[in-house]
Amino acid sequence: QVQLVESGGGLVQPGGSLRLSCVGSGFSFSISSMGWYRQAPGQQRELVASITRNGGTNYIESVKGRFTISRDNAKNTVYLQMSSLKPEDTAMYYCKPPQFANAAWGQGTQVTVSS
C-alpha cells in the first residue's frame, strides 16, 4: 500500500526558509506525479504544488516564486523548498501522489512561521 513519510518542518521566522522531504513507497514513484498539500487549522486541505513524472511543475498563486518542488526518483523522494515564508504558510504539510486519492495520508510535517 501507499506509504508516505514527510519530514523537515519546524518553527521559522517570517522571511525564513525550510526544505520539506517526503519519501514514498508502495507504488511506482518514478512514474507518478507527486503533490505537496497543506492544511491550516479550521481550513480545508489544499494542493500547494505538484510535479509530474517528467518534472513539470505547478503551484498555487500564493506560493509562486517562493516555493520550489523537486524530486529525486533514485531516492523515491519529493522535496518542497520554501523561501520567504509568511505567517499564512503555517500549516501541516503532506505529500501524496494525486492519482491515489483514496490512499492514506502520512503523518505530515508541521510548518510554523512566527516571530
Average pLDDT for runs of 10 along the chain of length 115:
96 98 95 97 96 96 98 97 98 95 93 97
pLDDT at 85: 98
pLDDT at 101: 84
pLDDT at 66: 98
pLDDT at 45: 96
d(CA 7, CA 60): 21
In contact, 53 and 32? CB cutoff 8 Å: yes
Beta-bridged to residue 96, according to DSSP, are 35
Dig out the grid coordinates for 85 from the structure: 515564508
d(CA 53, CA 49): 14
